[in-house]
RNA sequence: GCCGGCGUGGCGCAGUCCGGUAGCGCAACCGACUUGUAAUCGGUAGGUCGUCGGUUCGAAUCCGACCGCCGGCUCCA
């Protein structure tokens, strides 16, 4: 069993395996001390319980990636002396380092940088840690403006990057004459990095502020073993294969004609059909949930958005106004809430009507900055499945809980199964309303969230200006998380619009408003489902459910009759009567991800039984057409996620 | 908006570095074949090379601006 000598000469036995710090050539090792991740060179006494970090754990990977980031920065400095260092933290699957490089670095340079990194790995340079006082740190950092700024923030709340708030000393890591301000910990030497590769290059503002200079950010990924790295790269390929923008074109679902403008989509017949099915089912569920259906226009006079506060807070996110002859300004609506509020206010409301739930597939327009539009997930024109619920304070808690239950039930019907909740609290600067209101609203949301038996994570300061919110996060088929529904509690807009209802005491009371969108936007939800299913929509959502492929021209008439039968049963059927080979027709059906296809020739028509081919390529012979139709109708009606198994039907 | 990359028929690409007036595959259309579970063969048509301007005898190619797309940053009511 390997042993480790601590600075005070105590000997610690190490566990089996190959932890990051299983050897200690130069006094630094990543270790967990009494549960906290630290450097062994700082162990104050032998009393502390020491547990070396294993690269198989999150902490171990963190250490590994951070050390790889250091080697990256060292390599860039070696290639281009005069490089100024920013920060180099770890991220979900790897790391990055922000650098001001005295050369225009392009993607071609990544290979060169990586080669230099491998040189440094081969040199197996020990990482040596040193703690110094603030003045000494500043002296060492002459010529490094960004690191200097970090040290100047020592001991203040402004601490950033590699420095902990409140610290009075700075730590450096040195190897082979190159050193960097860094909190650590690190692997013992540069030869102990795992499998890594550089992945991307981009610009990033110093400290994330667009007023600051922009640095070059180099991204990489690092893993304990080559197998892990390969698996990660494969996951990335899989995500690329599922990209809804590619599938949208390949499957003829939607497009973004340049003539219309950035972030403005058109849905083609097949995409439009999927969308219609999504909407129809949502409508049905909302009807059952006692929502009232309303409609509102896409534009409004300026005054409405002044009252609502949107112009005050989000003018830069709205399309510029259209000015009419009389000087009146009209805006495209960025939200539906003010319209629903006016519907509420159209007459005096009684407590007997509450909760009043107003629902609309509302088209909204937001002027997203040019660099942020992205496929269907971030657009400038979208349709929200938006509802505003007006309740009394007393009803609020119960309504929130049943709303969350409704939300999760609906999302599950679309095939999403793995959720957690995020609770967003009052934003520090952009907020209206009293602290008491915020506290009460946040508490009501917290209670509803906690009743759901799901993980709840806090998002401090992430709420809207008028109230806190819960968002439902869903994990898709390959484990990525997407923000789906948002539920926002609002005490402010009822005040701004002077809403009230007549209570049982025949006095006026102020209602509470709940804003909620379950899909978020239909466009975005469409994108998420497309990626979740990799374009292979379950039968109930598929634009085409069954494709019939006649073998020869003389079969077309009989197959047309079969198609009529299947359509009469409610199935969406395509008939490929093109004059192409059977192999080609099958290939086409497969590429369009048609759930089921049937090749139909003389043999089948004479026998009266058919072979169904699933989009997974599995064939199921000897079935009557009636049986196939009945099974598919059942699969679609159940919104089944699993394809029909004809052997057990 | 910022940094970097990119824009050639519906789609995927070559040609751009070293200016000399566009080429391939798939798709489409026409014809032959009448086909049995992932691509039959032959032919035809389709592009003012994102847009505008500049340099030049001559621009897809060089320069500038704008539009759009991609990867990030910032933002996301």
SS3 A297: coil
Higher pLDDT: A89 or A636? It is: A636
Mean pLDDT of chain A: 86
Q: A448 falls in which pLDDT band (50, 70, 90)?
A: very high
A333: closest CA among A382, A294, A371?
A382
Positions 550-609 of A with beta carbon below 7 A from strand B are 551-554, 578-584, 586-587, 590-591, 597-604
From the list A66, A340, A366, A593, the catalytic residue is A366
Task: Give A38's pLDDT tier (boundaries 50, 70, 90).
Answer: low
Taking only Cα atoms into account, the Rg of chain A, rounded to an integer number of angstroms, comes to 31
Asked whether residue A223's C-beta has any atom of DNA/RNA strand B within 7 A, the reply is no
Q: Smallest CA–C1' separation from A335: which nucleotide?
A: B77
Category of A622 on φ-ψ map: left (φ > 0), alpha (ψ -120 to 50) or beta: left
pLDDT of residue A167: 57
Cβ-defined contacts of A71-74 (< 8 Å, 24+):
A71/A117, A71/A120, A71/A121, A71/A190, A71/A193, A72/A97, A72/A113, A72/A117, A72/A198, A72/A218, A72/A220, A73/A97, A73/A99, A73/A180, A74/A117, A74/A120, A74/A175, A74/A178, A74/A180
Query: A275 beta carbon < 7 A from strand B?
Result: no
Helices (H) and strands (E) in chain A, counts: 18, 34
| C-alpha–C-alpha distance, residues A365 and A483, integer Å | 20
Of these ranges, A86-90, A112-116, A225-229, A598-602, the one predicted with the greatest mean pLDDT is: A598-602
Q: What is the 3-state secondary structure (H, E, C) of A41-80?
A: HHCCCCCCCEEECCCCCHHHHHHHHHHHHHHHHHHHHHHC
> Residues A600, A549: contact at Cβ < 8 Å?
yes
More confident call, A207 vs A51: A207
Q: Is the CB of A106 under 7 A from strand B?
A: yes
The answer to whether A464 touches A488, Cβ cutoff 8 Å, is yes
Query: For residue A21, what are its two tokens?
Result: 């710090």
pLDDT band, residue A199 (cuts 50/70/90)? confident
In this structure, are residues A389 and A513 in contact, taking their beta carbons and an 8 Å threshold?
yes
Q: What is the mean pLDDT of residues A562-591?
A: 95
Q: Mean pLDDT, to the nearest integer, of A559-567? A: 97
- What does residue A233 show for φ and ψ, rounded to 5 degrees? -65, -35
CA distance A241 to A235: 10
Q: Which of A426, A515, A547, A593 is catalytic?
A: A515
**Mean pLDDT, to the nearest integer, of A520-539?**
96
For residue A245, say whether its CB is under 7 Å from any atom of strand B: yes
A178 to A58, A127, A171, A645: CA distances (angstroms):
27, 10, 14, 64
Which nucleotide is at minimal CA–C1' distance from A604? B36
Choose the catalytic residue: A39, A180, A386, A437.
A386
- The answer on pLDDT for A166 being more than 60 is no
Q: How confident is the model at residue A362 (pLDDT cuts 50, 70, 90)?
A: very high
Three-state secondary structure call for residue A103:
coil
A388 in catalytic set: yes
Give the pLDDT of residue A113: 86
pLDDT the model gives residue A49: 61
Alpha-carbon distance A488 to A387, whole Å?
11
Torsion sign over Cα A148, A151, A156, A158: positive
The rounded distance, in Å, linking the Cα atoms of A137 and A160 is 16
- The reply to whether A168 Cβ lies less than 7 angstroms from strand B is no
Residue at the smallest CA–C1' distance to nucleotide B50: A258
Q: Are strands A214-223 and A195-205 parallel, antiparallel or unpaired?
A: antiparallel
A198-212, A371-385, A506-520: segment of lowest average pLDDT: A198-212
What three-state secondary structure class fits A337? helix
Active site annotation includes A337: yes
A497-516 mean pLDDT? 96
Using the CA of A424, give the nucleotide whose C1' is nearest.
B77
- Report the percentage of chain A scoring pLDDT > 70: 88
**CA of residue A587 to C1' of nucleotide B27, angstroms:** 14
Instruction: Please list the residues that pair with A199 across neighbouring strands.
Output: none
Q: Give this complex's ipTM.
A: 0.93
Residues 494-553 of chain A in contact with strand B via CB under 7 angstroms = 515, 551-553
Q: Give the tokens for residue A557.
A: 């008439």
Residue with tokens 């991307």: A200
Q: What is the mean pLDDT of residues A583-603?
A: 96
* Residue A587 annotated as catalytic: no
Q: Across-strand partners of A129? A: A173
A308 touches strand B (CB under 7 A): no
Of A555, A393, A582, A374, nearest to A482 (Cα)? A374
CA of A103 to C1' of B19 (A): 30
Given a cut of 90, is residue A163 above it in pLDDT? Answer: no
**Residue A451 CA, nucleotide B8 C1', distance (Å):** 58
C-beta separation of A201 from A216 below 8 A: yes
Least confident of A210-214, A485-489, A618-622: A210-214
A 377-406: CB within 7 Å of strand B: 378
Which pLDDT score, from 0 to 100, does residue A50 have? 61
Query: Measured CA to C1', what is the nucleotide nearest A378?
Result: B76
A366 among known catalytic residues? yes
pLDDT at residue A238 is higher than 90:
no
3-state secondary structure of A11: strand
**Which residues from 417-456 of A have any strand B atom under 7 Å from their CB?**
none
Q: What are A100-121's pLDDT values in tens digits?
A: 877 767 666 777 888 889 998 8
- Better-scored residue on pLDDT, A27 or A220: A220
* Residue A18 pLDDT greater than 50, yes or no: no
- Distance between CA atoms of residues A534 and A532, nearest Å: 6
* DSSP-derived pairing of the beta strands A418-424 and A456-459: parallel
Which residue has tokens 């089921």?
A596
Question: Which nucleotides of strand B lie under 7 Å from a protein CB?
Answer: 1-5, 11-12, 27-28, 32-40, 67-77
Question: H/E/C letters for each residue in A603-636?
Answer: HHHHHCCEEEEECCCCEEEEECHHHHHHHHHHHH
């Amino acid at each position: 069993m390997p042993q480790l000598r601590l600075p005070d000469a105590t000997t610690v036995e190490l566990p089996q395996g190959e932890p990051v710090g299983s050897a200690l050539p130069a006094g630094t090792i990543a270790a967990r001390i009494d549960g906290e991740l630290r450097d062994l060179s700082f162990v104050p006494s032998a009393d502390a319980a020491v547990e070396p970090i294993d690269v198989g754990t999150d902490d171990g990977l963190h250490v590994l990636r951070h050390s790889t980031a250091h080697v990256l920065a060292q390599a860039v400095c070696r290639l281009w002396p005069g490089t100024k260092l920013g920060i180099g933290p770890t991220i979900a699957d790897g790391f990055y380092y922000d650098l001001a490089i005295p050369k225009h670095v392009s993607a071609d340079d990544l290979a060169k940088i990586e080669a230099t990194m491998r040189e440094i790995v081969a040199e197996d340079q020990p990482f040596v840690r040193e703690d110094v006082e603030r003045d000494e740190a500043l002296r060492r950092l002459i010529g490094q403006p960004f690191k200097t700024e970090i040290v100047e923030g020592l001991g203040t709340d402004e601490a950033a990057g590699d420095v902990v708030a409140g610290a009075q000393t700075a730590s450096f890591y040195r190897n082979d004459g190159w050193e960097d301000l860094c909190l650590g910990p690190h692997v013992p030497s540069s030869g102990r990095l795992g499998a890594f590769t550089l992945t991307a290059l981009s610009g990033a503002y110093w400290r994330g502020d667009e007023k600051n200079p922009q640095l070059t950010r180099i991204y990489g990924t690092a893993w304990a073993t080559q197998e892990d790295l390969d698996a990660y790269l494969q996951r990335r390929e899989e995500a690329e294969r599922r990209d809804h923008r590619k599938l949208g074109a390949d499957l003829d679902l939607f497009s973004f004609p340049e003539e219309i403008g950035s972030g403005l989509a058109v849905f083609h017949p097949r995409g439009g059909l999927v969308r219609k099915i999504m909407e129809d089912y949502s409508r049905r569920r909302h009807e059952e949930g006692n929502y009232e259906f309303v409609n509102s226009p896409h534009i409004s006079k300026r005054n409405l958005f002044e009252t609502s506060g949107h112009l005050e807070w989000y003018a830069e996110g709205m399309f510029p106004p259209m000015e009419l002859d009389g000087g009146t300004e009209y805006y495209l609506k960025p939200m539906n809430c003010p319209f629903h509020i006016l519907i509420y206010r159209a007459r005096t409301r009684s407590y007997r009507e509450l909760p009043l739930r107003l629902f609309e597939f509302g088209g909204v327009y937001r002027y997203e900055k040019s660099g942020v539009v992205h496929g269907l997930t971030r657009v400038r024109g979208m349709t929200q499945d938006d509802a505003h619920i007006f309740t009394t304070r007393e009803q609020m808690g119960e309504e929130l809980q049943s709303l969350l239950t409704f939300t999760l039930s609906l999302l599950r019907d679309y095939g999403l199964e793995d959720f957690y909740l995020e609770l967003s609290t009052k934003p520090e600067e952009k907020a209206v309303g009293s602290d008491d209101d915020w506290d009460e609203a946040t508490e009501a949301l917290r209670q509803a969230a906690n009743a759901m038996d799901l993980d709840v994570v806090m998002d401090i300061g992430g709420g809207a200006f008028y109230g806190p919110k819960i968002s439902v996060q869903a994990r898709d088929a390959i484990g990525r998380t997407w923000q789906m529904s948002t539920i926002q509690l609002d005490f402010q807009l009822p005040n701004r619009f002077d809403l009230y209802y007549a209570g049982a005491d025949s006095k006026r009371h102020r209602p509470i408003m709940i804003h909620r969108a379950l899909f978020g936007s239909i466009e975005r939800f469409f994108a998420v489902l497309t990626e979740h299913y990799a374009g292979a929509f379950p039968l109930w959502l598929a634009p085409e459910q069954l494709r019939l492929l006649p073998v020869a021209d003389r079969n077309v008439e009989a197959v047309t009759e079969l198609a009529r039968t299947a359509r009469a049963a409610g199935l969406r059927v395509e008939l490929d009567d093109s004059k192409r080979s059977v192999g080609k027709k099958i290939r086409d059906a497969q590429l369009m991800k048609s759930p089921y296809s049937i090749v139909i020739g003389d043999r089948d028509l004479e026998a009266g039984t058919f072979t169904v081919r699933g989009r997974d390529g599995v064939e199921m012979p000897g079935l009557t057409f009636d049986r196939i139709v009945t099974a598919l109708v059942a699969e679609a009606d159940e919104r089944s996620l699993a394809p029909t198994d004809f052997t057990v039907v």
